[in-house]
C-alpha cells in the first residue's frame, strides 16, 4: 500500500466519521458526571492508557481533583469518586480488577469502549461508545485502513479533548485559567 495524501485524507475521514457517531447527549452527561465527582481517576492499558493520562492532565488544568491510577500520589478512591476507564475491545483483566475496587469502594465507573455488548461495559455505571476499530477487531473485513486500535485511540483522544472543551465552558474556565495550572517544571 502506498502511503500519501490519499491515505492521510482517509485517516482524517475515519476519525471524523467515528466522532460524529457519538451523541451530544452522551457528551453532556459525561461532562456533568466529571463536574460533580469529588475526585476523578483515569486508567487504561497501552495506548488507551496514554490517552487517558492526557485527559487526566487536562482535567487537572480545569481545576478538578484528577489522578492517574498507578501514580505514586494516587489517593484512595471512595464514595463520590469517578473512575474513567477504557476498554476498546470490551475486556482487559486489569480494567476488570480496578472496576471491582471502585465498586467495592462505592465509587462510580464510566467506561469508554467500542464494544458495548462485551462483559465490562455491562458492569459500568455509564458507557460511552466510540465506534472505532480496536485491536480486537480482526479477521474478515477491516473497518479501518489503520493498524490494530489506532482508529479507536485517535478518536478517543479527540473526543476527550472535546469533553474538556465542553467541561471548561460549563465550569466557566478560560484557556488562561487552564494555563495557570500547567506545570512550570518542564
Clarify whether 14 is annotated catalytic: no
CA–CA separation, 104 vs 94, rounded Å?
15
How far apart are the C-alpha atoms of 127 and 5, rounded to whole Å?
35
Cross-strand bridge partners of residue 67: 41
User: Whole-angstrom Cα distance, residue 157 to residue 6?
Assistant: 23
Q: Given 48, 141, 153, 186, which residue is catalytic?
A: 153
Number of H helices, E strands in the chain: 6, 5
In whole angstroms, what is the distance from residue 48 CA to residue 66 CA? 17
In this structure, is the dihedral angle defined by the CA atoms of residues 131, 85, 117 and 142, taken in order, positive or negative? Answer: positive
Contact at 8 Å (CB) between 59 and 111? no
Provide the annotated active-site residues: 153
Amino acid at each position: 500500500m502506498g502511503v500519501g495524501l490519499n491515505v492521510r485524507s482517509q485517516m482524517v475521514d475515519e476519525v471524523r466519521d467515528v466522532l460524529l457517531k457519538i451523541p451530544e447527549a452522551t457528551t453532556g452527561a459525561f461532562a456533568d458526571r466529571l463536574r460533580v465527582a469529588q475526585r476523578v481517576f483515569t486508567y487504561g492499558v497501552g495506548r488507551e492508557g496514554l490517552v487517558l493520562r492526557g485527559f487526566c492532565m487536562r482535567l487537572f488544568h480545569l481545576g478538578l481533583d484528577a489522578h492517574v491510577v498507578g501514580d505514586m500520589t494516587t489517593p484512595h478512591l471512595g464514595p463520590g469518586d469517578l473512575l474513567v476507564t477504557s476498554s476498546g475491545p470490551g475486556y482487559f483483566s486489569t480494567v476488570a480488577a480496578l472496576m471491582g475496587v471502585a465498586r467495592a469502594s462505592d465509587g462510580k465507573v464510566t467506561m469508554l469502549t467500542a464494544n458495548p455488548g462485551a462483559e465490562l461495559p455491562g458492569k459500568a455505571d455509564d458507557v460511552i461508545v466510540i465506534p472505532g476499530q480496536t485491536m480486537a477487531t480482526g479477521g474478515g473485513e477491516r473497518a479501518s485502513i489503520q493498524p490494530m486500535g489506532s482508529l479507536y485511540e485517535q478518536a478517543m483522544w479527540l473526543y476527550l479533548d472535546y469533553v474538556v472543551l465542553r467541561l471548561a465552558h460549563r465550569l466557566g474556565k478560560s484557556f488562561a485559567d487552564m494555563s495557570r495550572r500547567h506545570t512550570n517544571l518542564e
